[in-house]
Structure formats: C-alpha cells, structure tokens
Amino acid sequence: MEVLTVLVDIAFVALGVVAVLSGGAVFVVDSMARATYALAVSFVAVGVQVLFLQQSYVGVVVILMMVMEMAVMAVYMVMFMGMNPALMPMSMVHSNRTAVATAVLTFLLLAAGILVVDWPARRGSPPRDVTEALGEALMGPQMLVMAVISPVMVATIVAGVVLAAPRTRYDRFGDDLRQRPPDDPQPGGVGR
C-alpha cells in the first residue's frame, strides 16, 4: 500500500511539473497553434491532478472543457486567419520586460500574502458530498441556465463551422457523395 501511495505522489508531482512547464511553453513557442496545444496539455495535467484528489466529476469536466476549448480555438485560428499566421513564427509575448516584471511582482505579492495572512480556523465539518457542494458553490441557482446554455453553445460552434465552409463535400461529390471525379474549383491535390 505504501508503494502505491509513493507512486501516486510521484505521479502527482510529475503532473504538476508537466502543467507548469507546458504552461510556460505557451510563452516560449513561436506560433499560436503550438501555444494553444501547450495550454491544453497544461490543463489536462491539472485535470488529472484533480482526479488524483478524488474529485472525479470536477477533474473530468476540467479535462473535457479545456480539450474542447483548445481544439475549437485551434480550428477557428486555422479556419479564419488569413495566410494562416496561427502556424507561422511569431512572438507570444508583448511588452516583454513589463510582462516579466509584472509577473514576478504579482507572484511575490501572492506568496507574501500566503505567509502573512492570518488564516481563520475551520468552522464546522466538511460536507458529505464535496463535489455536490463545490458545484452548488460555483453554480448556485444558475445550474439550470448553464444546462440549457451548453447545448446552445455547441450548436453555435457547429453552425459557425458549417457557415464558414463555402463548399462542402456535398458540393464536390454530390448529394449521395458518389460523383467521380469530384467537382473541385482547383484541380490537383493529393493523389491526382
């Protein structure tokens, strides 16, 4: 049992290192697409850490939400940005010295706050179902609203992708997808 605990501790620390390094990679890589995927890796590592804390629902939601958000962001970058700058080299940091100074100052201020603040003693006992209590604290009376908004947001994303594509495979291959050769506006491509 102790060996398993040690392995879990090592995995938890390793995931923390992965989260920090991939979060830092967001500001080091030279394209927006790479930065997006680095951020996704960081959030997935944090989501797995939350799973290790036995918060299954919250961990799975973090992982699914961040993977979907980053995937949609990458798709929209490639789809809507002319000349595809999402894949071209560029700086992810603007006002580099100011940003670094602000980040260091903020970190020092927050770290000092952790050490200086007189934390209150616990009052009462923890709730029976911590996940339910967390969901209630985060969402409160808006739970129904979020349950309705979520499918609307997904439908909006799908509609945006559909409307953004001027020609679909049905335009190229016909209604039954059997038209050969396809009606391509630009001849050529892979295998032809």
Residue 101 inside a domain? The answer is no
* Predicted structure pTM score: 0.60
Structural domains in the chain (count): 1
Q: What is the pLDDT of residue 99?
A: 84
How far is the C-alpha of 7 from the C-alpha of 41, rounded, in Å? 21
189 band by pLDDT with thresholds 50, 70 and 90:
low
Whether residue 97 is contained in a domain is answered as no
The token duo for 100 is 């670094």
Instruction: Give the pLDDT score at 167.
Output: 66
- Please report whether residue 108 resides in a domain: no
pLDDT exceeds 80 at position 29: yes
φ and ψ at 44, to 5 degrees? -65, -40
Residue 2 falls inside a structural domain: yes
Mean pLDDT: which of 7-16, 70-79, 146-155 is highest? Answer: 7-16
153-169 per-position pLDDT tens digit = 888 878 877 777 666 66
For residue 48, the model assigns a pLDDT of 95
Q: Is the pLDDT of residue 84 over 80?
A: no
Contacts 24+ apart (CB under 8 A), 75-79: 75/161, 76/160, 77/32, 77/33, 77/36, 78/33, 79/161, 79/164
Which has more confidence, 182 or 155?
155
Report if residue 163 sits inside a domain. yes
Residue 69 belongs to a domain: yes
Instruction: Report d(CA 175, CA 158) in Å as an integer.
Output: 20
Which structural domain, as residue segments, surrounds residue 150? 1-88+130-173
pLDDT value at 111 more than 90: yes
* CATH number, domain containing residue 59: 1.20.120
Q: How confident is the model at residue 184 (pLDDT cuts 50, 70, 90)?
A: low
- Residue 117, domain member (yes or no): no
